[in-house]
Amino acid sequence: MITIGDFGICNLSIVPVRAAASDESEIVTQLLFGDFVKIIEKGEPWIRVRFDRDNYEGWMDFKQLVYIDKDIYESGTSTRQKVLFEPILELEGPKGIQNIMLGSDLPFYRDGKLKLGSETYTVLSPVDMEIKPDLFEIAEIYLNTPYLWGGKSIFGIDCSGLIQIVFKVCGYDLPRNASEQVKVGTEVAFSDRKAGDLAFFINANGKVHHVGILLSAHEIIHAAGRVRKDRFDENGIYNLDLEKQTHKHHSIRRIL
């Protein structure tokens, strides 16, 4: 029997978090293995959670967490956990073998083992967690990942999810949405742009709705249909497949 607590850790590879308490509701974001959440509304089968890293909220199935006490939650969220920077990692846990993916937290990682409350997971393949990930190498792992609204994984991701996860792997916490990410870091002039900067784009109403990472002064990686590389200039993004401008430039921010 599962008793719903006040705090939890995601113990599955990818979990949808929805706008409303229904399987028919849109996915607004996803939890990856090792993500800590606070439960703010309890019910069965739906609970409302707040994601510790960015305060994003939504509804999920109560069976998709392992529940922990406040001390473990505070210990886990007050220190930066190791983050997986390989595409896939095989674990053995209480329910057998499972695979987790790039961007997942590895809570309380030590000597090849992870602790999620009362659950212990063993890493089945060697992983050197002391390597410093390269931002551009991590971003390119996602190339050709299909676009998925609310997605944050190598099997489906949206534009701001791509930015959030790539920077998370490299040690930086960013908000979930492009409209919030544009408030982070320092704005730089277009003429001063460089690789690693974030470029933001606006819709017809002037609202920031898209973001990508500059790979150079004239190339960007972003999620639009799929994670792809396109040409970038002062007007915006020029889609090489469609042979036209698809996103109107707004600003450039520097995080690194």
pLDDT tens for residues 25-65? 999 999 999 999 999 999 999 999 999 989 999 999 999 99
Q: Is the pLDDT of residue 169 over 80?
A: yes
Q: d(Cα 108, Cα 114) in Å, to the nearest integer?
A: 6
Tokens 């409303």: give the residue. 20
Q: Is the pLDDT of residue 98 over 90?
A: yes
CA distances from 104 to 12, 24, 99, 210, 223 (A): 10, 26, 11, 24, 20
> What pLDDT score was predicted for residue 128?
83
Q: Can you read off the two tokens belonging to residue 36?
A: 């800590």
> What pLDDT score was predicted for residue 2?
86
Radius of gyration of the chain (CA): 19
> What's 58-112 look like in SS3?
EEEEHHHEEEECHHHHHHHHHCCCEECCCCEEEEEECCEEEEEECCCEECCCECC
> What pLDDT score was predicted for residue 172?
96
> What pLDDT score was predicted for residue 149?
97
Q: Is the peptide bond before 45 cis (omega within 30 degrees of 0)?
A: yes
Q: d(Cα 199, Cα 218) in Å, to the nearest integer?
A: 11
Residue 76: half-sphere exposure toward Cβ, Cα within 13 Å: 28
For the annotated catalytic residues, the residue numbers are 159, 210, 222
Question: What does residue 165 show for φ and ψ, rounded to 5 degrees?
Answer: -70, -45
Q: Is the pLDDT of residue 1 over 80?
A: no
> At 126, is the pLDDT very low, low, confident or very high (cuts 50, 70, 90)?
confident
Q: Is the pLDDT of residue 127 over 90?
A: no
